[in-house]
Amino acid sequence: MPILEGRFAWVNQYLPNPRIDRARAAGLKGAIIKYGLREVEQAYTEAGMLWATEVYALPSQPEIDAQRLANAVDAGACAAVINAEVEWESKGEDEMIRLIQAFRLRHPTVELYASVDTRGNRLQLPYQQVLKRVIAGWLPMVYPKAFRPTCPPGFVAAAFRDCLDGKGFGGIPVYPTIQTYDEIGARYVEEQTGEVHRRGLTGYQAYTIAHATDAEWAAIVADEPQEEEMPTLEERVAALEVAMVESVADRKSIRATLQMGLGWLGAGFALHRDDKKPHVNSEALRNLDDKLAGR
């Protein structure tokens, strides 16, 4: 499973408050933090939460941005996010290839993610095609109010269609970045998380954790997934006994069979855990040059 699957929030330089209280209240896995906000990084580290680093990359300085991402990974970032926007749209592949190669020289296995605008045909542009060859996940910016400031009827669903439908993401996981800034309103935060779930997507991030109003953040908190309660060992035994009554006539035989089954039931409980190890595609990494070259 990609390490940024699930629910995260962003922290940017315009309001660099980590808001650990909000992250915990919502049950987030962690945050994506603008590069250079060391105090915010430290806050999430001390809270025992994941954090990824993000750079607003520029084609004029790919090696510099690569080193910034790599430095943050050295400091504890679990993943690196390349935020590439309008400056890249007139460029070819070379600048993005340079950025990725420079980062991979220092961190060959750390997951990379693309924070990009996927409206229109942008995913077909060279820089996004390069990203498509190496990333662990897409983080498309889905900002309904930014895209349609007058908030016409259906504007939330329209933003998701604009950014996600018919784009050819190449089978790579998609985790939208949803809008919780500019006072979009709790109702429309709920609509955004609803769209995520309706589409069967397995993660998103709120942009940003500090800009959201209390009501908007309450909508994120309310969206916290509820873990299914595990039945007790006694409940499992009782259920097994009921099922066996239909096929075993002798109750004494049932009890003997149940006693033998207690061992593997207990073992099943011991083994039940949530494996959070990040997925590393070693074959893709070994063939990085070929991927970047589109071979």
| Sequence spans of domains, the chain | 6-227, 233-271
Reading the block at residue 47, the tokens are 């809270």
Reading the block at residue 40, the tokens are 């915010």
Kind and range of the H or E element at 52?
A: strand 50-56
Q: Assign domain 6-227 to its CATH architecture.
A: Alpha-Beta Barrel (3.20)
Q: What is the pLDDT of residue 58?
A: 98
pTM score: 0.79
Cα distance between residue 262 and residue 276, in whole Å: 28
pLDDT in tens, 175-207: 999 999 999 999 999 999 999 999 999 999 999
Q: Measuring CA to CA, how many Å separate 288 from each of 130, 135, 285?
A: 11, 11, 5
β-sheet bridge partners, residue 170? none
Question: What is the chain's pLDDT, residue by residue, as a tens digit (295 residues)?
Answer: 999 999 999 999 999 999 999 999 999 999 999 999 999 999 999 999 999 999 999 999 999 999 999 999 999 999 999 999 999 999 999 999 999 999 999 999 999 999 999 999 999 999 999 999 999 999 999 999 999 999 999 999 999 999 999 999 999 999 999 999 999 999 999 999 999 999 999 999 999 999 999 999 999 999 977 554 555 666 665 655 555 554 444 455 545 444 544 444 444 444 343 444 444 444 544 566 666 766 6
Q: Residue 174 is which amino acid?
A: V
